[in-house]
Structure 1
Amino acid sequence: MKDNTMFKIDTPAEELEVKYGLPRDVIFCKKCVISNQRPSSSVEFAHNAKSKKTTISFGEDGICDACRYAEMKEREVDWDQREAHLRELLDKYRSRNGSYDILVPGSGGKDSVFASHILKHKYKMNPLTVTWAPHLYTDVGWKNFQNWLHMAGLDNFLFTPDGQVHRKLTELAYRNLLHPFQPFIIGQKNYAPKMAAQFGIPLVFYGENEAEYGNPINENINAKRKASYFAQQQAAGETMYFGGVAMEDLPEHGILPGQLDPYLPITAEALERGKVEVHYLGYYLKWTPQECYYYAVEHTGFEANSERTEGTYSKYNSIDDKTDGYHYWTTFIKFGIGRATYDAAQEVRNRHIERDEAVALVHRYDGELPQKYLPEFLEYLSMDKDEFLEIADSFRSPHLWAKDNGEWVLRHKVK
Structure 2
Amino acid sequence: MNPLCVTWAPFVWTDIGWVNLQNFVQSGFYNIIGQPDGILHRKLSRLAFEVKGDAWEPFAFGQKSWAYHIAEKFGIKLIFYGENGDLEYGGSTKYKHSPKESLEDWAKHYYKGGDIDELAKVGLDKGIFKKEEILPDKLNWYKPPAPEKVERLGLEMHWYSYYTKWTPQENYYYVVKNTGFIPNDMGRTESTYTKYVSIDDKMDGLHFYLGYMKFGLGRCSRDAQQDIRRHHITREEGVALVHRYDHEFPKRYFPWMLEYLGIEEDFFWEVMDFYREQSNVWERENGQWKLTHIVS
Q: Say yes or no: TM over 0.5.
A: yes
Cα distance in 2 for residues equivalent to 1:227 and 1:328:
25
Aligned partner of 1:278 in structure 2 is 157
Aligned partner of 1:226 in structure 2 is 102
What's the offset of the Cα at 1:177?
A: 1.4
1:301 aligns with 2:177: no
- Partner of 2:289: helix, strand, or coil? strand
Aligned partner of 2:263 in structure 1 is 383
Cα distance in 2 for residues equivalent to 1:206 and 1:399:
34
Cα distance in 2 for residues equivalent to 1:133 and 1:368:
26
Cα distance in 2 for residues equivalent to 1:341 and 1:193:
32
1:194 aligns with 2:69: yes
- Partner of 1:242: helix, strand, or coil? helix
1:208 aligns with 2:90: no
What's the offset of the Cα at 1:194?
A: 1.9
> One-letter code of the match for 1:150?
Q
CA gap 1:239/1:204 in 2 versus in 1, 3 angstroms:
closer
CA gap 1:159/1:406 in 2 versus in 1, 3 angstroms:
same
Q: In the alignment, is the contact (CA less than 8 A) between 1:144 and 1:302 conserved in 2?
A: yes
- Equivalent residue for 1:411, pick from 267, 284, 292: 292
Aligned partner of 2:45 in structure 1 is 170
Aligned partner of 2:2 in structure 1 is 126
Aligned partner of 1:320 in structure 2 is 200
Aligned partner of 1:97 in structure 2 is none
Q: In the alignment, is the contact (CA less than 8 A) between 2:123 and 2:129 conserved in 1?
A: no
Cα distance in 2 for residues equivalent to 1:271 and 1:251:
34
Structure 1, unaligned stretches of length 5 or more?
Answer: 1-124, 232-237
Q: In the alignment, is the contact (CA less than 8 A) between 2:43 and 2:128 conserved in 1?
A: no
Cα distance in 1 for residues equivalent to 2:123 and 2:211:
25
Cα distance in 2 for residues equivalent to 1:133 and 1:407:
38
Q: In the alignment, is the contact (CA less than 8 A) between 1:201 and 1:276 conserved in 2?
A: yes
What's the offset of the Cα at 1:168?
A: 0.3
Aligned partner of 1:264 in structure 2 is 143
> One-letter code of the match for 2:254?
L
Q: In the alignment, is the contact (CA less than 8 A) between 1:193 and 1:230 conserved in 2?
A: no
- Equivalent residue for 1:292, pick from 167, 171, 187: 171
CA gap 1:132/1:345 in 2 versus in 1, 3 angstroms:
same
Cα distance in 2 for residues equivalent to 1:248 and 1:388:
21
Q: In the alignment, is the contact (CA less than 8 A) between 1:202 and 1:275 conserved in 2?
A: yes
Cα distance in 1 for residues equivalent to 2:24 and 2:157:
22
Aligned partner of 1:9 in structure 2 is none
Q: In the alignment, is the contact (CA less than 8 A) between 2:214 and 2:279 conserved in 1?
A: no
- Partner of 1:220: helix, strand, or coil? coil
Structure 2, unaligned stretches of length 5 or more?
Answer: 108-114
- Equivalent residue for 2:55, pick from 173, 180, 185: 180
Cα distance in 2 for residues equivalent to 1:339 and 1:264:
27
Bigger Rg over Cα? 1
What's the offset of the Cα at 1:221?
A: 0.2
Cα distance in 1 for residues equivalent to 2:257 and 2:269:
13
What's the offset of the Cα at 1:241?
A: 1.5
Q: In the alignment, is the contact (CA less than 8 A) between 1:230 and 1:266 conserved in 2?
A: no
What's the offset of the Cα at 1:161?
A: 0.3
- Equivalent residue for 2:210, pick from 320, 330, 354: 330
Higher fraction of helix? 2
Q: In the alignment, is the contact (CA less than 8 A) between 2:66 and 2:141 conserved in 1?
A: yes
Q: In the alignment, is the contact (CA less than 8 A) between 1:311 and 1:368 conserved in 2?
A: yes
Q: In the alignment, is the contact (CA less than 8 A) between 2:61 and 2:116 conserved in 1?
A: no
% of aligned pairs identical? 46
CA gap 1:250/1:159 in 2 versus in 1, 3 angstroms:
farther
- Partner of 1:129: helix, strand, or coil? strand
Cα distance in 1 for residues equivalent to 2:260 and 2:176:
32
Cα distance in 1 for residues equivalent to 2:146 and 2:189:
38
1:144 aligns with 2:25: no
What's the offset of the Cα at 1:251?
A: 7.2
Q: In the alignment, is the contact (CA less than 8 A) between 1:239 and 1:247 conserved in 2?
A: no
Alignment of 1:58-77 (within 5 A): none
Measured on the aligned residues, the alpha-carbon RMSD in Å equals 2.1
> One-letter code of the match for 2:134?
L
Cα distance in 2 for residues equivalent to 1:143 and 1:239:
31
CA gap 1:160/1:174 in 2 versus in 1, 3 angstroms:
same
Aligned partner of 2:112 in structure 1 is none
Alignment of 1:76-87 (within 5 A): none
Cα distance in 2 for residues equivalent to 1:279 and 1:401:
38
